[in-house]
Amino acid sequence: MARANDEIEAILQEYADLIAITGGDAFRARSYEKAARAIGGYHADVATLDPKGLREIPNVGKSIADKIVEYLTSGQISAVEERRQSVPAGVRELITIPMLGPKKAMVLYEELGISNVDQLLDAVHEERLRDLKGFGEKTEANILHGIALMQKAGTRILLNAAMDAAEQIVAELSGIEGCRKCAYAGSLRRMRETIGDIDILVAADSSAPFMDALAALPHTAEVIAHGAKKTSVRTTKGLQIDLRVLPPDSWGAGLQYFTGAKAHNIRTREIAVRQGLKLSEYGLFDAETGERIVSSTEEEIYERIGLPWIPPTLREDRGEIAAALRGELPVPVAEDDIRGDLHTHTDLTDGLAPLEEMVAAAAARGYSYYAVTDHAPDLAMQRMTKEKMLAQRDRVRELDRTHKGMRLLHGTELNIGPDGDVDWPGDFLAGFDICVASIHSHFNQSREALTRRLVRACENPYVSVIGHPTTRRIGKRPPIDADFDAVFAACARTGTALEINAHPERLDLGDEDILRAKRHGVLFAIDSDAHSTTHLPYMRYGVGTAQRGWLTKDDIVNTWPLAKLRRFLSPRA
DNA sequence: GCCGTTTTCGGCCCGACTGTTTTCAGTCG
């Protein structure tokens, strides 16, 4: 079940946007933003809290606690409803365009009556923006670029949002009588970084109860198709969900067919055809007699056409079939292989939870080590100092060994400056157990400068991991334009690991870059970059991305035992 | 609207970049 926290976070964020757009007190808007973020990352479900409990959430006072109670009891907040009257929904959509904030959006609405992205596009093409105060030709070009970026992500949604929705539906349908099996398939099962629609499969003798249940789910806004074998709906958030109900003995064939990718399926069917067989979502058949040979499990189907079972995350027609035929299919890293998280934050910088809570949540995940890596001072907004860092280190040392079986590492996330320098000199860096170094600004340097910058960071003997290497944010910011082959070569040469940042909005490195980097012989670290206890489980998306990059546990330093990891982390001569 | 080893008012992360201006507003991280 999705937590009420997510809905409340969304509506408070909307309220903050509405305040900003209508020119309200900026600090008040920020208060709602901060509260929204704190609630989204809060460990407890707000629906279970009384008003007193609500006010224990950071940045939630009386006024916001009252609004949360109002929402939980009535499903809406009157103050938000009132503000919605004065700002069309499309104006709020405008501020999701990079480079367009609340002030410019309101000017566009008040001066030109623009209240959605299409109207904005028209106005840009008619060059009507450049006459507005504070706008110009460059602004028009930037807006076009921002819209293109948004539309490239299109209607696809982030992996975690799709996963939450799918798991909720699978749980609902699994509880219906007659359900023999239920699972999600499609690009979600392959852990693609964005998801266009969700494919749900059910094995049952009778389909009607499942079709009806899907159409009746609270988040279903529209039923696109409603049949005996397939039902498609669109949720209130615009996400399409396709449900297929299969005869139980076709389960394996259906799962294989609907997991794809398309190109992978075409190849498997070609192999079947060459053996006088026919493969469909109902089974593997003799092409001549039509007799069904196997159909109940994926393993049987792959085996019968001469292949080992291929993990879903590899089914992209990127050479997995040839590798399988040669017996060289990798055993992809699994979430169970991960022994610890090497990049996490606390409320000492921009995290939401105190050190103690983050550590306890990490221990509950069964990690055998856990690194705390708050931001260093060059990210000025975090106001870090040596003194604060050393005080945190003392606290980390005290907490070490208090959770059975888990050791703590004290680290930092350094900022890679425009020239490739990092926050502190070597003598201070030497005191950390681990240094992650990442780019956080100056994304538009030349390709040469960006490449040199990353290579210099790799060459710093104290830097063990390059964090979110391309700095992309899916649907929001493109990757930086560096010569990544040169960077990967530098990582391999210097023994610096590349991060696979597991945050669903980053997934950075992405699968294709991982494949390239691996050819250079690079090592990797899969990290949650958690800013809240609720982000620690994002690890699964990093693992999925690593699998898509064909990585095995040996490639990933945080699957290693602590002693081996420590040797890797120690400064290079 | 929230918060407090500076506590019931008066601050609120702070600096840089961009594109627009001709000294600055808006946006971002």
Q: Where are the domains of chain A?
A: 4-154, 157-246, 262-326, 335-569
The confidence score (pLDDT) of residue A457 equals: 95
The spacing between the Cα labelled CA in A450 and the C1' in B12, in angstroms, equals 35
The confidence score (pLDDT) of residue A154 equals: 60
Identify the residues numbered 289 to 348 in chain A whose C-beta atom is closer than 7 Å to any atom of strand B: none
Domain A157-246, CATH among 3.30.460.10, 3.90.1150.10, 2.60.40.10, 3.30.43.10: 3.30.460.10
The spacing between the Cα labelled CA in A525 and the C1' in B23, in angstroms, equals 47
Please tell me whether any atom of strand B lies within 7 Å of the Cβ of A130. Answer: yes
How would CATH label the architecture of A335-569? Alpha-Beta Barrel (3.20)
Q: Please work out, in degrees rounded to the nearest 5, the angle formed at the alpha carbon of residue A142 by the alpha carbons of A140 and A148.
A: 105
Please tell me whether any atom of strand B lies within 7 Å of the Cβ of A124. Answer: no
Nucleotide nearest to A132 (CA to C1'): B20
The confidence score (pLDDT) of residue A131 equals: 87
| Of A179, A198, A20, A28, residue with least CA distance to A92 | A20
* Cβ neighbours for A465, distance < 8 A, ≥ 6 positions apart: A342, A343, A434, A435, A436, A437, A496, A497, A498, A499, A525, A527
The spacing between the Cα labelled CA in A129 and the C1' in B22, in angstroms, equals 21
Kindly report the pTM of this predicted structure.
0.86
DSSP letter, residue A480: P
Which nucleotides on chain B have any atom < 7 A from a protein Cβ?
Answer: 1-3, 11-15, 17-21, 25-29
Structural tokens at position A541: 């998306």
DSSP letter, residue A179: -
Q: Return the CATH superfamily for domain A262-326.
A: DNA polymerase, thumb domain (3.30.210.10)
How would CATH label the architecture of A4-154? Orthogonal Bundle (1.10)
Please tell me whether any atom of strand B lies within 7 Å of the Cβ of A440. Answer: yes
Please tell me whether any atom of strand B lies within 7 Å of the Cβ of A138. Answer: yes
The spacing between the Cα labelled CA in A11 and the C1' in B12, in angstroms, equals 22
Write the CA distances from A367 to A48, A310, A360, A465, integer angstroms. Answer: 28, 28, 10, 19
| Low-confidence spans in chain A with pLDDT less than 50 | 1
- C-alpha–C-alpha distance, residues A501 and A472, integer Å: 11
DSSP letter, residue A46: G
Identify the residues numbered 157 to 196 in chain A whose C-beta atom is closer than 7 Å to any atom of strand B: none
The confidence score (pLDDT) of residue A37 equals: 86
Please tell me whether any atom of strand B lies within 7 Å of the Cβ of A26. Answer: no
Is-contact A283 A311, C-beta < 8 A? Answer: no
- C-alpha–C-alpha distance, residues A379 and A366, integer Å: 32
**A157-246 and A335-569, same CATH topology:** no
- C-alpha–C-alpha distance, residues A485 and A466, integer Å: 14
Is-contact A358 A395, C-beta < 8 A? Answer: no
| Of A124, A130, A138, A15, residue with least CA distance to A77 | A15
Q: How many residues does chain A have?
A: 573
